[in-house]
Structures are given as structure tokens and as C-alpha cells.
Amino acid sequence: MATNTIRIPGIDTPVSRVALGTWAIGGWMWGGPDDENGIRTIHAAIDEGINLIDTAPVYGFGHSEEVVGRALAEKPHKAFVATKLGLNWKKEGDDEKVFRDSRPTRIRQEVEDSLRRLRVETIDLEQIHWPDDKTPIDESARELQKLHQEGKIRALGVSNFSPEQMDIFREVAPLSTIQPPLNLFERTIEKDILPYAEKHNAVILAYGSLCRGLLSGKMNKDTTFPKSDLRSTDPKFQMPKFAQYLAAVDEFKELAAKHNKSVLAFAVRWVLDQGPVIALWGARKPEQVSGVNDVFGWQLTEEDKKAVDDILARHVPDAIDPTFMAPPNRD
């Protein structure tokens, strides 16, 4: 069983340093939902020792939360749920248009909706998904603090916020977690977010630890994605960039082999070695959570870290940030 844990301020029990990410389970931008496999995946993650499930209303427009709620209701255990708010959506033709919306009334409605879908009385960790440039951050934080004081939320976090934005939030409400992208290819938070988390006793929830499956070791130059999959528009997965990233992954595999580990385990271990970090492990099939325990019980050496930097400098000198996923502000 995975035993490597960390404490999130506001949550009494330590949580696993690998959390299950459930964006794909919601189906949206991942080729549609598969609920039975999603439920089995959540149960398999718990059996592997994962006790933190990360979800969001926008993952399938409520569907991911509903699947998480159903899965947790069916399996007696003690697992913690992290969800998010601050994204709204409206129908445009056959698609949903997503936009940022952290107005206090929207926040309160989202919390009530999440409680219902998740089938819980208290949300363990509630996070603002993206900063809303049209709503003052202190107004959003004040409403979250009220909900925290009402017992509907145990801990508060933010996602995709800058240090300056987090300073404004912290003047009004306690900030327990920060959720930015972090993986071997997406490392911009090393400059500011990671030091900020360490200084202010916040835990990083690193999303994209496997870089949308690129670091799973299962892709090759012939791998393609349907239009309903966000990777069909992710610049990393388009030639000739895709070939550069795959060449780096091949060399990461060689580094991982020195530890008798898969490239997947190596990639997640690298994330955990960056500081007070929980790695989000996205999955939608039970077999995709096997190998979680290979992440624990070892660390990368200084030679490994230098080799990683050398591989990136040779193959991906101009790494692409995941900014293509940022939703727009509301009209």
C-alpha cells in the first residue's frame, strides 16, 4: 500500500502524496464518459492507497462529481475529496462555452451543487479553479471563508493563481493548497509558486504530472487523438514538437531503468521531489492506477536531476506551457 503522506492545513488526517485526478472520468475533452470504468478506477485507486480524489464541476459539467459521489458511496472507506469552483458554462450550439466566474453568488451555488453531487455534508478541499479578472479576489475569498465557517468546507485552495493574487486571497481567508501544472516538461512554477508554497506552509497539488499521458511511456509518433480529445489541439502533441517530446521520453525511460522503474513512476517521483507536493495521477481505467506504489520508497539522485535538465536542453529547449487550456473571462 502507498504510505507516503502529507498534511493539508485544515484536514486532520494525512493524505496520500498521489491523488487521483478525475478530469477524464467526467468525459468532457477526453472522448466521452465511461461511468462503470470510472467507478472501478476510483475503487482501484483507493485499494492502491490513494485517499485523495480531485475533481471539479466543469469536468463533464457536473458528471465527474456525480461519478465520484457514487463511487465513494458504494465503497466504505475514508477518502477525502478536493473539488473546485469558479468556472461557469453555457450552451453554444452543440458545445458548452466555459468561462471564469467567481462571483460570491456563483460560489455559494457551486458549493451547494457540489455537496449534492458528491453526496457529502462537507467538502474537504474547495479550490478556485482559475482567477476571475472581473471579480475582486477578496470578494471571492470572503464568500469562501463564510462557507468555511458554516462548516461546508474544511480547507481552501486556489488553482492557476499568481503569488500576487494569492497574497490578496490570504488577507481574507486561509490558503491551504495551490494547484498549478507541474511535470518534467512544464516547470515554470519552480521560479515563484514552489517557493511561495514553502514560505506560506501551503501544499502544492500538481496537475498534469504525466503531461496528459505523454510521460506514460505508451505513446509513439503514430499515436493520434480524436477531435473530442483535448490533445488533438495541445501543441505538444502536434508534429514536429511531438517527436521532440517523444525523444526526451525515450531518454527518461533509460534514466528510469537505472532504478528499475517505469518512466511513469520516474516522472511522478520527480514531481514529488520538488517540495511539499501532491501529484495528481489522472486515470479513467482501473489498470491506469496500477504502479502507484512504484513512486514511493526512493528518490531521484542529483545525477538524475542533472540528466533530466540535459535531456530537456537537447530535445525540448523551448518547452510549451499549458496556457492553451486557460478558459476566457466571462463576457
**Known catalytic residue: 207?**
no
Give yes or no for a contact between 158 and 116, defined as CB atoms under 8 angstroms apart. Answer: no
Nearest to 281 by CA among 271, 248, 61, 3: 271
**H-helix or E-strand spanning residue 66:** helix 63-74
Coil, helix or strand at residue 37: helix
Give yes or no for a contact between 327 and 87, defined as CB atoms under 8 angstroms apart. Answer: yes
Q: Which three cell numbers stand for residue 229?
A: 480529445
Q: How far is CA 200 from CA 14, 153, 163, 194, in A?
A: 18, 20, 11, 10
Given the residues 59, 196, 207, 245, the one annotated as active site? 59
Residue 326: DSSP 8-state = P
Q: Which residues contact 303 (CB under 8 A, 6 or more apart)?
A: none
- In b/e form, how buried is each residue of 223-251, taking b as 16+ CB within 10 angstroms? eebeeebbbeebebbeeebbebbbebbeb
Catalytic site positions: 59
